[in-house]
Amino acid sequence: MSIENISQAKVADGWHKQYSHHSATLNCNMRFAIFLPPNASKENPVPVLYWLSGLTCTDENFMQKANAFKAAAEQGIAIVAPDTSPRGENVPNDESYDMGQGAGFYLNATQAPWNDHYHMYDYIVTELPALIEAYFPVTAIKSISGHSMGGHGALTIGIKNSDSYRSISAFSPISNPMQCPWGQKAFSQYLGSDIESWKQYDASELMKEHSIELPILVDQGEADNFLVEQLKPEQLIEAAKVNNTDLELRMQPGYDHSYFFISTFISDHIEFHAAYLNK
């Protein structure tokens, strides 16, 4: 494995750095960004919060708009933000914003033409952490968070790999993708017509099937224009009751789906994760 530094800037007494690398899992070149707090060193490796962004986003959205660095520096936590999907001239794409490049949905596609590249689930769970732990002063202790499509990814990945993470959080997650237009469109193309196979990437369905010991924090804006049709947090609440999942879902009056919302509450999420990462 090799990585190439694209950019770097000092921030909050730490460093924000952007890298590219070839992904064997995704069969293309990928980009990610990492924030290293000031206390991170070879002698003092730090835990990592993985952030998964939403539809149309890249690694830059969270890193440039979320205002997370000061809180992460204070808590001594690294943040890793991967891209949201495979990209490149040879990677299949779609004209619509909610399919193809920028819309990988953090799953392993089984259907052509997507299955040669769209294995974001394996990339996030296995390849990317191995790369980060090999090249940077971090430990294998990690938590996961995300927004919208990335909130869906954080929940499903965290639930299915609960022994690999300390905590899970999400902003405005697609909570029940099997029952919303975004999820139905993506799942039918990436996974095919076998609806039973869709359940492995639906947080509400997974919560019903798994007894999850990890703490989960979710923030949802009440003024989110995607709330009713696409996000369906009420399904997540009902699913959490089945196995008494430790879920705190906070409805935030007046807030929408944007990074203004995320930047307002990101410090809460970093403090939430720090309580478990720094144990």
**Active-site position among 16, 147, 257, 269:** 257
Distance CA 178, CA 195 (A): 8
Distance CA 262, CA 194 (A): 35
Which pairs with CB-CB distance under 8 Å and at least 24 residues apart come from 222-227? Answer: 222/251, 222/252, 222/253, 222/254, 222/255, 223/253, 223/254, 223/255, 223/256, 224/172, 224/255, 224/256, 224/257, 224/261, 225/256, 225/257, 226/148, 226/172, 226/257, 227/172
Say how many C-beta atoms besides its own lie within 10 A of residue 211's C-beta. 10
143, 277 Cβ separation under 8 angstroms:
yes
Give one word for 115, left, alpha or beta, with left for phi > 0 and alpha for psi -120 to 50. alpha
Distance CA 167, CA 14 (A): 23
Look up residue 156 and give its two tokens.
């499903």
**Active-site position among 148, 167, 169, 175:** 148
Could you confirm whether 267 is annotated as catalytic? no
What do you get for the CA distance between the two ends of the chain, in Å? 31
**Active-site position among 59, 224, 269, 273:** 224
Could you confirm whether 148 is annotated as catalytic? yes
Catalytic residues: 148, 224, 257
